[in-house]
Chains A and B, each alone.
Chain A
Amino acid sequence: MKSNNNQNAVVLTAEKPEHQTRIFGINIQTIIPFISYRWFTLFGISAIVIITGITMYFLKGGFILGIDFKGGIRVDAQVNNPSVNIKEVRKIFTDARIEADVSTVGNLSDRQFMITLPILSSENSTDEVQMINGLLGKNFGSDNILIKSSEKVDARIGQDFGLKAFYLILISACLILFYVIFRFDFFYGAGAIGALFHDVLFMLSCTLILNIAIDLTVVASILTIIGYSTNDTIVVFDRIRELHSLNKDADYENIIDRSITQTLSRTIITSMTVFFVVLSIFLWGGVVMKNFALLLLIGVIDGTYSSIFIAAPITYMLRRSIDKNLKESKANRRKVAESLKS
């Protein structure tokens, strides 16, 4: 069967060398057989990351939730004392019998720490921020402490945030699915939605692997990537649809391979430009947006990857197994090809 497909490709290309593609000045004469590689990509690279993610999920007993979702207190404090280090800061809290999580923010030389702890009392009047300020001040000199930002989230509101974020992703996924079905057809819709869920799973896995707490910024980055990745997918789909309607009888696998190859230079260039921007926000954009930018960096690569290696193969496999016309036309073409051979 494989050889048959290749022959079809040759028959088609003999008409006009139109699918010759140039990427960065390099002529690409052949069509890259993306679809043939689908098992490798579908169950290779993606599966490794996602299975690692799922394993981590069970090992860690769920996602790492930020205080936005589980409630708690976060204080971002700068300690202008040259002798300070993270171990000492941690010790202060263990000595005070407070279950606090301390991490450094930005460069070590900034001596900036992020302290996260659960809410100690449900009373409004307890001011944990002042308490932390006091504890740090007692050990490092109260003039040296600068509370850069603080946040306190009640568990009640956290749960609502979590649910809302979940619905947000679900609603946008449904809307995108409807749009793709409306503009294309069901098979493309399934491909797009498959890629979309792959993106969400992939990014959630990355939060587990990289130990990033899920907060509202993470949700925002996932949604941005959903939009970006579908955008990428649509460009490929658009080309598949165009080529498919021009050559109704052509082999579908070949059409997809041709479409991806033809749009490949655009895909790479766009990913690169978005990657430039996100990378410089990651490197120079300040500490606050670091996690956001990091997830976007992963997402840009994953989004590009998924539109080529996930969306198109799913569309292909679904159509091949369900769409009768496609099978028939394929059978017809095989007959023609065989008759030509003989």
Chain B
Amino acid sequence: MSKLTRFIILLFTVVVSFVFLAPSIQWYFFLPQKDKDLLKLSQDQLDIQTFEVRKRATEIKIIRKGAISLGLDLQGGANLTMQINEESLTNLLLEKYDFDTNKLVADYKTEYANASDRALEVLKNRMDQFGVAEPLIRKTFEGRISVELPGLSNPQQIMEALSKAGRLEFKIVDEKAMKELEAMKVPMVPREGWVASRQDVPTNFVLPEGSEWASCWKNDEFGIPKLNGWLVLFKKVELDGSMINNARADHDQFGGNVINFTLTPEGADIFDEVTAQNVRNRLAIVLDDKVKSAPVINSEISGGSGQISGDFTIEDAVFLQNVLKAGSLPVKMDIVQQRVIGSSLGEDSINDMIKGGLIGAGFVILFMIIYYRISGFFSLISLTFDMLYVLALTASVPGTTLTLSSIAGIFLTVGIAVDANVIIYERMREELRRSRSYRHALENGFLHARPTILDSNVTTLIAGFALYAFGQGSIKGFGLTLCIGILSNIFAALFITRLIYDWILDTFKVQKISV
């Protein structure tokens, strides 16, 4: 490759790195706190803000998503790991299986997995109640669910809210009120037929006695519930989740996604009566006070089984199935691990770690320059690029959080990073002792150092990958930064250091560079 091509490649990597880093730089160095606070508003609160504020909030959200986020150990907060309360699940299942213990034992594993899927939906549904800017809920191993609540220092107050089972209710939509709103030309969400924003509701609209506003939520592409609109519902609870016997996502004869459900005998009677009285009205499925879907009742449904059809994707259908089941099998959750880090500790740790790491890195660079002179200075340059790539790659992997241990990992790669340069320089020194020509020694030095560098780094990469793939929490982050560090370090040592050599030798017409 010619020097120009290599230079262009280098330039390209730098530009790409800065593109990845741009949101992080914006978020940590330029955004005022006032703008950042917009993220703390819950969806309902945001809905009553002006259009400009909402637009700004969306912009901020996009920046935030692209920026490297700090782990709980750096910004403080609470991390809870939740697990299905097995006793409550077993009791529920015993009832469901008519005390047939053999069947229960046979199906327990699947039932447990399903229950934890449902619990995940229930928890996600409650996410906005925590009053935390960026709650993070995800499945971890063995059907456990991890909840991260940055900035929260006393999880006790929300633990109750977290561990209680989901409450599923069915309510009838107040179609008269909805018609009235439509006549007032209030913008509606197409197809769903619910009010897009409560801000648009004119002040002369009077909420009928016995009715209430209810928020409607749809899952976004990440499976996170997002506020989608508003409906007026009758306050009366027609049915509750305990009356659902089972629910299953299925296909109808046209290949569309539907949800089939069956009711308990008691539920079947009530459902028959309710549907008979409300044909052509909508029946809202409400989980923890949030409307998840509001299908139209097409006809009276008797016999205790029904079908919800609509323009569903398979994810929608499975989601609704889980919502219905969450009501029928309301399992309690236990908190099996709880970690709270005060924000002052986080601040101290990040400052200390950066101080310690920088002193160490300084030592390393000083040593390299003293020992290898100009070549040592070259390794400083390639190390600078290396650090840029490490940060950019960290930012480019979605969902990566920078924890204390991953910062330690980055500094550790500084120590390991110069290793590649050391291997090259030591080899060059050996070659120099053997041959008269500097160019030849340089060529041979790099040639022989390459397989050594690759082989030796792959093993560290394997260890790092194992940490990333099978590790949990902070270990995962550490493994990732270790891997990223190694990859950029190989590139920096073999590609950039060499380019600097060639450039200096050719441009300044020097015969040799001290190594």
Show the binding face of A for B, using Cβ within 8 Å: 18, 20, 22, 76, 124, 127, 129-130, 146-154, 156-157, 160-161, 164, 167-168, 171-172, 175-176, 179-180, 183, 192, 216-217, 219-220, 223-224, 226-228, 230-232, 234-235, 238-239, 242, 262-263, 265-266, 269-270, 272-289, 292-293, 296
Q: A172-B463, A223-B467, A273-B363 are in contact. List 4 more A-B contacts (CB 8 A).
A: A124-B334, A231-B460, A280-B360, A281-B356
For A264, give the chain B residue with the smallest CB separation. B426
Chain A proximity mask over B350-390: 1 for CB below 8 Å, otherwise 0? 01110111011101100110010000000000000000000
For A19, give the chain B residue with the smallest CB separation. B430
**Are B336 and A277 within 8 A (Cβ)?**
no
**B464 at the binding interface (Cβ < 8 Å):** yes
Q: Can you list 19 contacts pairing A with B, beta carbon distance less than 8 Å? A: A149-B341, A153-B336, A157-B83, A160-B142, A161-B472, A217-B474, A220-B471, A234-B456, A234-B459, A238-B452, A238-B456, A242-B448, A266-B423, A273-B422, A276-B360, A277-B415, A278-B360, A282-B356, A285-B408
**Are B470 and A167 within 8 A (Cβ)?**
yes
Quote the shortest CB–CB distance from A136 to chain B (angstroms): 15
**B210 at the binding interface (Cβ < 8 Å):** no
**Are A280 and B363 within 8 A (Cβ)?**
yes
Quote the shortest CB–CB distance from A203 to chain B (angstroms): 14
Q: Which of A265, A276, A292 contacts B415 (CB 8 A)?
A: A276
A175–B83 Cα distance when bound, in Å, is 32
A239–B368 Cα distance when bound, in Å, is 23
Quote the shortest CB–CB distance from B90 to chain A (angstroms): 15
Interface of chain B residues 146 through 175 with chain A (CB within 8 A):
156, 159, 163
**Are B426 and A276 within 8 A (Cβ)?**
no
**Are B462 and A277 within 8 A (Cβ)?**
no
Quote the shortest CB–CB distance from B461 to chain A (angstroms): 8
A100–B81 Cα distance when bound, in Å, is 24
A220–B475 Cα distance when bound, in Å, is 6
Evaluate whether A148 and B345 lie within 8 angstroms (CB atoms) in the complex, with A153-B337, A157-B336, A285-B408 already known: yes
**Are B478 and A283 within 8 A (Cβ)?**
no
**B429 at the binding interface (Cβ < 8 Å):** yes
Quote the shortest CB–CB distance from A113 to chain B (angstroms): 13
For B162, give the chain A residue with the smallest CB separation. A124
**Are B340 and A284 within 8 A (Cβ)?**
no
Evaluate whether A272 and B367 lie within 8 angstroms (CB atoms) in the complex, with A161-B472, A280-B356, A285-B355 already known: yes
Chain A proximity mask over B323-341: 1 for CB below 8 Å, otherwise 0? 0000000000011111111
A278–B414 Cα distance when bound, in Å, is 10
**Are B340 and A216 within 8 A (Cβ)?**
no
**B307 at the binding interface (Cβ < 8 Å):** no
Q: Which of A160, A192, A270, A284 contacts B356 (CB 8 A)?
A: A284
**Are B467 and A220 within 8 A (Cβ)?**
yes
**Are B470 and A223 within 8 A (Cβ)?**
no
A239–B423 Cα distance when bound, in Å, is 11
A157–B458 Cα distance when bound, in Å, is 32
A-B pairs, 3 with minimum CB distance: A286-B352, A285-B356, A227-B463
**B457 at the binding interface (Cβ < 8 Å):** yes
Secondary structure of the A contact surface, majority rule = helix
A150–B404 Cα distance when bound, in Å, is 16
Quote the shortest CB–CB distance from A186 to chain B (angstroms): 16
**B73 at the binding interface (Cβ < 8 Å):** yes
**Are B342 and A147 within 8 A (Cβ)?**
yes
A277–B355 Cα distance when bound, in Å, is 11
Task: Please name all residues of chain B whose beta carbon is closer than 8 Å to the beta carbon of A265 when the two chains form the complex.
Answer: 426
User: Counting chain A CB atoms within 10 Å of each CB, which of B141, B405, B408, B414 scores highest?
Assistant: B408
Chain A proximity mask over B431-462: 1 for CB below 8 Å, otherwise 0? 00110000000000000100110011111111
- Chain B interface bracket (under 10, 10 to 19, 20 to 34, 35 or more): 35 or more
**Are B456 and A231 within 8 A (Cβ)?**
yes
**B38 at the binding interface (Cβ < 8 Å):** no
**B278 at the binding interface (Cβ < 8 Å):** no
**Are B474 and A270 within 8 A (Cβ)?**
no
Task: Please name all residues of chain B whose beta carbon is closer than 8 Å to the beta carbon of A278 when the two chains form the complex.
Answer: 360, 412, 415
Evaluate whether A175 and B357 lie within 8 angstroms (CB atoms) in the complex, with A22-B429, A266-B422 already known: no
Task: Please name all residues of chain A whose beta carbon is closer than 8 Å to the beta carbon of B351 when the two chains form the complex.
Answer: 286
**B118 at the binding interface (Cβ < 8 Å):** no
Interface of chain B residues 394 through 430 with chain A (CB within 8 A):
404-405, 408-409, 411-412, 414-416, 418-419, 422-423, 426, 429-430
Task: Please name all residues of chain A whose beta carbon is closer than 8 Å to the beta carbon of B355 when the two chains form the complex.
Answer: 284-285
Evaluate whether A180 and B340 lie within 8 angstroms (CB atoms) in the complex, with A168-B471, A171-B466, A288-B73 already known: no
**Are A231 and B457 within 8 A (Cβ)?**
yes
A231–B422 Cα distance when bound, in Å, is 13
Task: Please name all residues of chain A whose beta carbon is closer than 8 Å to the beta carbon of B204 when the two chains form the complex.
Answer: none
**B253 at the binding interface (Cβ < 8 Å):** no
Show the binding face of B for A, using Cβ within 8 Å: 73, 81, 83, 141-142, 144, 156, 159, 163, 334-342, 344-345, 348-349, 351-353, 355-357, 359-361, 363-364, 367-368, 371, 404-405, 408-409, 411-412, 414-416, 418-419, 422-423, 426, 429-430, 433-434, 448, 451-452, 455-467, 470-475, 478-479, 482
**Are A154 and B405 within 8 A (Cβ)?**
no
Q: Which of A130, A146, A192, A216 contacts B344 (CB 8 A)?
A: A146
Task: Please name all residues of chain A whose beta carbon is closer than 8 Å to the beta carbon of B81 when the two chains form the complex.
Answer: 157
Task: Please name all residues of chain B whose beta carbon is closer than 8 Å to the beta carbon of A284 when the two chains form the complex.
Answer: 352, 355-356, 359
**Are A216 and B474 within 8 A (Cβ)?**
yes
Task: Please name all residues of chain B whose beta carbon is closer than 8 Å to the beta carbon of A147 when the two chains form the complex.
Answer: 340, 342
Evaluate whether A227 and B364 lie within 8 angstroms (CB atoms) in the complex, with A160-B142, A285-B356 already known: no
Quote the shortest CB–CB distance from B165 to chain A (angstroms): 13
**Are A273 and B144 within 8 A (Cβ)?**
no
A279–B356 Cα distance when bound, in Å, is 9
Q: Which of B339, B360, B452, B463 contacts A226 (CB 8 A)?
A: B463
A292–B352 Cα distance when bound, in Å, is 14
**Are B405 and A281 within 8 A (Cβ)?**
no
Q: Which of A76, A269, A272 contacts B345 (CB 8 A)?
A: A76
A220–B144 Cα distance when bound, in Å, is 22
A150–B411 Cα distance when bound, in Å, is 27
Task: Please name all residues of chain A whose beta carbon is closer than 8 Å to the beta carbon of B418 when the two chains form the complex.
Answer: 270, 273
A157–B423 Cα distance when bound, in Å, is 44
**Are A234 and B455 within 8 A (Cβ)?**
yes
A216–B351 Cα distance when bound, in Å, is 22
Quote the shortest CB–CB distance from B359 to chain A (angstroms): 4
For A242, give the chain B residue with the smallest CB separation. B448
A1–B471 Cα distance when bound, in Å, is 50
Q: Which of A148, A150, A279, A288 contacts B360 (CB 8 A)?
A: A279
A146–B464 Cα distance when bound, in Å, is 36
For A269, give the chain B residue with the smallest CB separation. B422
**Are A227 and B339 within 8 A (Cβ)?**
no
A18–B456 Cα distance when bound, in Å, is 24
Task: Please name all residues of chain A whose beta carbon is closer than 8 Å to the beta carbon of B429 when the two chains form the complex.
Answer: 22
A146–B141 Cα distance when bound, in Å, is 33
Task: Please name all residues of chain B whose beta carbon is closer than 8 Å to the beta carbon of A292 when the two chains form the complex.
Answer: 405, 408
**Are B342 and A266 within 8 A (Cβ)?**
no
A149–B346 Cα distance when bound, in Å, is 9
**Are B348 and A286 within 8 A (Cβ)?**
yes
Q: Which of B342, B353, B423, B475 contacts A286 (CB 8 A)?
A: B353
Task: Please name all residues of chain B whose beta carbon is closer than 8 Å to the beta carbon of A153 when the two chains form the complex.
Answer: 336-338
**Are A276 and B342 within 8 A (Cβ)?**
no
